[in-house]
Amino acid sequence: MAKKKTKFVCQECGYHSPKFMGKCPGCGSWNTMVEEIEETASSNRLGFAAALTAEVSQPRPITQVETKTEARIVTKFQELNRVLGGGIVDGSLVLIGGDPGIGKSTLLLQVSSQLANSDYKVLYISGEESAKQIKLRADRLDVTSNNLFVLSETDLQRIARYIDDMLPSFVVIDSIQTIHLPEVTSAPGSVSQVRECTAELMKLAKIKGIPIFIVGHVTKEGAIAGPRMLEHMVDAVLYFEGERHHTYRILRAVKNRFGSTNEIGIFEMKELGLQEVLNPSEIFLEERPVGVAGSTVVASMEGTRPVLVEIQSLISPTSFGNPRRMATGLDHNRVSLIMAVLEKRAGMLLQNQDAYLKVAGGLKLDEPAIDLAVAVSIASSFRDKASAPTDVMIGEVGLTGEVRRVSRIDQRVQEAAKLGFKRAIIPKKNLGGWTIPEGIEVIGVSNIGEALRYTLGGTS
């Protein structure tokens, strides 16, 4: 008999080596190299390879390629439809990750129930829970439908046979780290198992035209566990985020072959499951204090949706040689840059001040249009002077102190007017070319000094 060849594979990044090493050269992690048997020949495990090669494609000019609109399954969750680009595409493989207990299984079970009630045949496969445990959660969520089938199984070959016999319209795999192929000798959840199982599920989705959602565990850093290749193989990668002490959950797409990655969906976890939030601006501003220094409101764009969010700052004298700069929901480097601009262009002595900033509600903002609101919030806390509670700030701040134009200014101001704001401070270059909504005053500023004069009443 031929001697079996072995290799050592890093369980964090997938790097493989013929010998054991304590530190992985690929990602620098320690004690992550695990010995696995190396496969010498490729096997046609599920019989999909022959089907994939049945139709031999030939190269042809791109002008002769026929295009058609992808068929989509529309759920009752408008937030999920928006993140996916309009609905679930037939034959797509979608990976959804998030912290334990954040609500991934709850979301997918509710979506499965909605589709089953719309006469779609749905197969919910769990490798972590028994059918009775799924039933207990379904009773809590009031999920009842004869078109929703549940299966507790971890063998991918058996799962493929069930899918081939049932031909469901929608499949959920919870989770990919528990599924295994018997031919792969490594343990479930290892790099080899996750990679091979995902590849077979991708073939199954494309050949049968069945959309498949797979749940992925995340590491302590927040990334999806397993090889990075996993995110490249699937059609869409969704992250379900949220603070454990808050009831709001944010569904964000970091990859989507059938839509934009700029959209977010906002849900609220309640006793009967997840409920979508159609007007997140009211949610993020409902507990905003009035007349408190350091609090400002910005109209930020999340994809095609304007969202009004409160930015809070606390500036206090430091007790150490190096002042602290802490930011939650904001880029730390952006905060340092804006503080340097305020010190140089507005004459504020901030080098001996600790700065603590956060975005209320747990949202993360990373677009340039929030710069002006951050600057006014810092100046307001430093001077201990509150800005008007009915003001909203929009604009990008440059290194010379200028306020630069931003995109979609009309949608941002319209959202502010709808929520009762009376004045909008925007870049002067954005004035003109659009209709100002009724009930709101729009003021254009060209530099940070003008913005501070309008909002805080002075530059000193």
- Are 264 and 306 in contact by the 8 Å Cβ rule? The answer is no
Show which of 277, 304, 333 is a domain's final residue. Answer: 277
Give 178-231 pLDDT, tens digit per residue.
999 988 878 888 888 888 899 999 999 999 999 999 999 887 666 776 667 788
Q: CB of 379 within 8 A of CB of 456? A: yes
* Residue at 322 is within a domain: yes
pLDDT at 245 over 70: no
CA neighbor of 215 nearest in space, from 109, 73, 131, 362: 109
Predicted local confidence at residue 448, as pLDDT: 95
User: 300 or 242: which carries more pLDDT confidence?
Assistant: 300
Which range in 70-84, 236-250, 270-284, 377-391 is most confidently predicted, on average pLDDT?
377-391
Whether residue 296 sits in one domain with residue 246: no
55 part of a folded domain: no
62 is a domain residue: no
Residue 118, domain CATH = 3.40.50.300
| Structure confidence at residue 443 as a pLDDT band (50, 70, 90) | very high
Reported as a single tens digit per residue, the pLDDT across 292-312 is 999 999 999 988 889 999 999
- Of 3 and 374, the structure prediction assigns the larger pLDDT to 374
Is the pLDDT score of 423 beyond 50? yes
Q: Which residue has the higher pLDDT, 359 or 49?
A: 359
Residue 459 has pLDDT above 50, yes or no: no
- Read off the pLDDT of residues 52-111 as tens digits, 9 standing for 90 and up: 444 556 888 988 888 777 778 999 999 999 999 999 999 999 999 988 888 999 999 999
Query: Quick one: 307 and 206 in the same domain?
Result: no
d(CA 399, CA 438): 34
436: burial class by Cβ within 10 Å (0-12, 13-18, 19+)? middle
Residue 316 sits in the same domain as residue 260:
no
Q: Say whether 101 counts as a known binding-site residue.
A: yes
Taking residues 228-256, report their average pLDDT.
85
Judge if 238 and 323 occupy the same domain.
no
Structural domain span for residue 20: 6-37
pLDDT at 242: 81
Is 273 marked within a binding site? Answer: no
Q: Is 188 annotated as a binding residue?
A: no
Would you tell me the crossing angle of helices 371-383 and 448-456 to the nearest 10 degrees? 50
Assign residue 381 the CATH number of its domain.
3.30.230.10
| 38 vs 415, more confident | 415
Does 139 belong to an annotated binding site? no
195 and 155 in one domain? Answer: yes
Same domain, 175 and 243: yes
One domain, residues 263 and 294: no
- Report d(CA 308, CA 64) in Å as an integer: 46
Residue, of 175 and 425, whose pLDDT is higher: 425
pLDDT of residue 427: 97
pLDDT at 229: 74
Asked whether residue 1 is assigned to any structural domain, the reply reads no
Rounded Cα distance, 270 and 248, in Å? 9
The verdict on residue 418 lying in a domain is yes
- Which pLDDT band, with edges at 50, 70 and 90, does 278 fall under? confident
Under the banding of pLDDT at 50, 70 and 90, the label for residue 40 is: low
Q: Does the annotation list 105 as a binding residue?
A: yes
- Decide if 48 is inside a domain: no
pLDDT value of position 231: 87
Q: Are residues 113 and 147 in the same domain?
A: yes
Do 203 and 220 share a domain, yes or no?
yes
Which pLDDT score, from 0 to 100, does residue 226 have? Answer: 67
Domain count across the chain: 3
Residue 261 has pLDDT above 50, yes or no: yes
Q: Is 104 annotated as a binding residue?
A: yes
Q: Provide the pLDDT confidence category of residue 49 given band limits of 50, 70 and 90.
A: very low
Mean pLDDT of 348-372: 92
Residue entry with tokens 């797979």:
214
Answer yes or no: do 12 and 155 share one domain. no
**Residue-level pLDDT at 52:** 44
Q: Assess whether pLDDT exceeds 90 at residue 356.
A: yes
104-162 per-position pLDDT tens digit: 999 999 999 999 999 999 999 999 999 999 999 999 999 989 999 999 999 999 999 99
Identify whether 45 is part of a domain. Answer: no
Q: Are residues 94 and 238 in the same domain?
A: yes
The whole-chain average pLDDT of the chain stands at: 88
Nearest to 380 by CA among 416, 389, 419: 389
Instruction: For residues 344 and 214, state if they share a domain.
Output: no
358 annotated ligand-binding residue: no
Which of 40-49, 92-101, 400-409 is predicted with the least confidence, judged by mean pLDDT?
Answer: 40-49
More confident residue, 460 or 348: 348
User: Is position 103 annotated in a ligand binding site?
Assistant: yes
Query: Does pLDDT of 414 surpass 80?
Result: yes
